[in-house]
Amino acid sequence: MPQAYMEETGREGVGPEPVGSGARHFLSQWKSPGIWRRGVVVAALAVLLGLLMLLHADLPNRVGNLGSLTETFLPWLGLLVPVLLVLAVLRRSATALIALLLPVIAWANLFGGLLSDKSGKGGNFTVATHNVNAENPDPAATARAVAASGADVVALEELTSPERYERALADTYKYHSVQGTVGVWSKYPLTDAKPVDIQMGWTRALRATVQTPQGPVAVYVAHLPSVRVKFNAGFTAGQRDNSAAALGRAIAREPVRKVVLLGDLNGTMNDRSLAPVTSQLRSAQGAAGDGFGFSWPASFPMARIDQIMVRGMDPVSAWTLPATPSDHLPVAARVKV
């Protein structure tokens, strides 16, 4: 046999494999009884992923705040579904494909509603909040960018040079109050502005009454303690959790019926440790936003830790604002008072 022909086929006396025979062989494997026996490991991983989503509230927080850590990044678990799908197809496993329905349904149940645009028209009260970053190189530009949202009330956190923001916002907002490292600016009169003790040793929360044309609204501005993920300690959030409990108690005692909370809570609405706050208020993003509205980090947002929550009012729309020199994105919402 000619040497060239042998090199082409790789086997003496056997011609080239017909075009499409590989695809037919691949498809034929889906018809064999083995499709139910293959991919057991992939199927088991899919079931575990689905159970993790469904039962995330049962994960213990006693060790490294594992439950809160998982809940902070819970939406991102959905990225494991296409990975497992590829593995199931490569293994040609019907068992794995069926098992994948569990995490798909669980993720859709948890977050499917956030994929649609729930924003509407109307509303008569616009608010915005922004962690401006203590090391912000251009406070004036940052302040003007947030004011450009048209917000009636603006909350700023991590203020180390409040006078620079006061000057930049003076023309737009006639009334303001700064307490410690947080501040609120309003187009409407402010009364009863005072710090709120969230057990940090210095002031990082305030409460004020905004006298809107539709009546008084109690505005809370808060910057809860930061959390860290450490290799030897897990999700260190003890101080954040204590501050959330203190803030929740303050809001529970609030006599004004209409309440809005603005600020960097260093946690998502899924985090059980923020329940003292989130159980009393409604998320504007969850009720009237478009998508997840991730706000941190600004360079590649992975979580919404900057929150706007209300009580006694109906959210109409919620959105993130363009990036500023801060490491957080500003967020805004419009509500009907």
What pLDDT shows up at residue 229?
Answer: 63
- Residue 258 structure tokens: 């209409």
The 10s digit of each residue's pLDDT in 181-200 is 999 999 999 999 999 999 99
Neighbour count for residue 312 (Cβ, 10 Å): 17
- Residue 259 structure tokens: 């309440």
Q: Where are the domains of the chain?
A: 32-115, 125-336
The answer to whether residue 26 scores a pLDDT higher than 80 is: no
Strand residue runs (E) in the chain: 125-131, 153-157, 175-179, 182-186, 190-195, 205-212, 215-223, 228-230, 234-236, 259-264, 282-283, 306-311, 314-320, 331-336
Contact 316, 288 (CB under 8 A): yes
CA atoms within 13 A on the CB side of 129: 27
Q: What percent of the chain has pLDDT over 90?
A: 79
Residue 298's Cα: distance from chain center in Å? 12
Say which residues have a Cβ less than 8 Å from residue 43's Cβ, sequence separation at least 6: 88, 93, 95, 96, 98, 99
What pLDDT shows up at residue 178?
Answer: 98
What pLDDT shows up at residue 284?
Answer: 97
Neighbour count for residue 109 (Cβ, 10 Å): 11
At 61, the pLDDT band (50, 70, 90 cuts) reads confident
| C-alpha–C-alpha distance, residues 330 and 324, integer Å | 8
Tell me which fold the domain 125-336 belongs to: Deoxyribonuclease I; Chain A (3.60.10)
- Residue 55 structure tokens: 């039962």
**Local structure of 259: helix, strand or coil:** strand
Q: What is the mean pLDDT of the segment spanning 255-276?
A: 96
The 10s digit of each residue's pLDDT in 66-109 is 888 899 999 999 999 999 999 999 999 999 999 999 999 999 99
Strand order, beta sheet including 282-283: 190-195, 205-212, 215-223, 259-264, 306-311, 282-283
Angle between helices 162-169 and 139-147 (to 10 degrees): 40
Q: What is the mean pLDDT of the chain?
A: 90
The answer to whether residue 20 scores a pLDDT higher than 80 is: no
What pLDDT shows up at residue 238?
Answer: 79
> Dihedral, CA atoms, 271, 276, 281, 283, nearest 10 degrees?
-10
Neighbour count for residue 216 (Cβ, 10 Å): 18
DSSP assignment of 15-65, as one string?
-PPPTTHHHHHHHHHTTSGGGGTTTHHHHHHHHHHHHHHHTGGGS-STTTT
Contact 237, 65 (CB under 8 A): yes
Instruction: Please tell me the pTM assigned to this model.
Output: 0.86
What pLDDT shows up at residue 62?
Answer: 80
